[in-house]
Amino acid sequence: MKKKFYLCVMITTALAFSGCRNAEREVSSTKASENISYSHEFDTDSNSHENLFAISYQVPLSWDCSNADNGNYYYPENGMLYVSTDASPFQVTKHDKQNNYIDGFSSEIDEFQELDRYTTDIAGVDALVFEFNGIISQEHVDGKSYVFTYGDLLYCFIYSDFITDAPYISHMKDFEEIINSISFPPLADEKSTKEAETNFSEKSDVDTELHSENNTTDNEVLEDAADAVDAATSEAVADTIYQEILDEYAKKIQEATPGLIEEYNTEAASKSGDINALAEISNAKISKLAEISNEGIEKMASLMLKNGDESSVYEEWAGKLTNVYMEQSQQITDAYMSSAVPQ
């Protein structure tokens, strides 16, 4: 009998991050194994029709299912599909956002290799696709992920084959048909969205009751693998959240600086030779940048408390924003020095 397990940790709680890396990621050209054959269990006449908030999709009826708080796990023979949502969408076509997401994802998988990456569309919705291999809970895996934003949610479809040296059956082609089956209704208003969330929660309760006799598992490998995939996805989402706060407030600081320098020069013109007055004007302008920086740092601190992150996580990201503030405030200081020191 196939074993089942239930997700214990939501995606949104396991938040750490790998830093805002803008360097190009290397893409490996090697596959973990070629000793495979492909199944074809996807059948439109018999598939299970699934819903996750706004979207619908089909899964082979023979695949076992376990419900998580924010998605579902499905288990074909020798594989695992995780379908999840998170309330932290990002623009999947932006390369730096892709790097942040994949960096966070890879940090939870040993010997991670990114095999390929590209963007595509699913029924007109942009999606990030990346293929990978690595080790999850001491099991070698070949995996593929589709990530896309629809409405106010980020959706992740992640499939992994557990590979062996012996011939094994891959369900990767079934996974591609699952992706092709995804459908998107017109975006609902806020009331409809809340109703969809309630319906999903009620469905999860019913499904949990129906599967209660199979809730326990002695398959530690699959349970650990699920936790690792969940943590990897959480890592990726968290990276994006901190990065977006940094991007937002760095941009605000950078855009405010030229105007503040202009204000300083205008006000300083009438205080020529009065070093104390010039310093007071300079400090007032720098304080404006500090207010913006502090607002962004407060948001990062709130995120740390919400997620239960280590203080070092918050300090790293706050330090990045502080560096932007220091660089920009130096420009105001330079203007002060130019006006205060005789040429």
Three-state secondary-structure class, residue 297 = helix
Between CA 130 and CA 163 the distance in angstroms is 18
pLDDT, position 243: 84
Between CA 55 and CA 185 the distance in angstroms is 7
What domains are there in the chain, each with its CATH number? 11-211 (3.40.1000.10), 242-340 (1.10.132.20)
Q: Are strands 36-38 and 168-170 parallel, antiparallel or unpaired?
A: parallel
Can you list the positions of beta strands (E) in the chain?
A: 36-38, 48-52, 55-59, 64-68, 71-75, 79-86, 110-122, 125-136, 139-150, 153-162, 168-170
pLDDT, position 58: 95
HSE of 145, CA atoms in CB hemisphere, 13 A: 28
All residue ranges of the chain with pLDDT < 70 are 1-35, 69, 187-240, 341-343
Give, to the nearest 10 degrees, the angle between helix 311-340 and helix 275-307.
170
Using CA atoms in the order 240, 242, 245, 246, what is the torsion angle rounded to 10 degrees? -100
How many helices (H) and strands (E) in the chain? Answer: 6, 11
CB 314 within 8 Å of CB 301: yes
pLDDT, position 153: 84
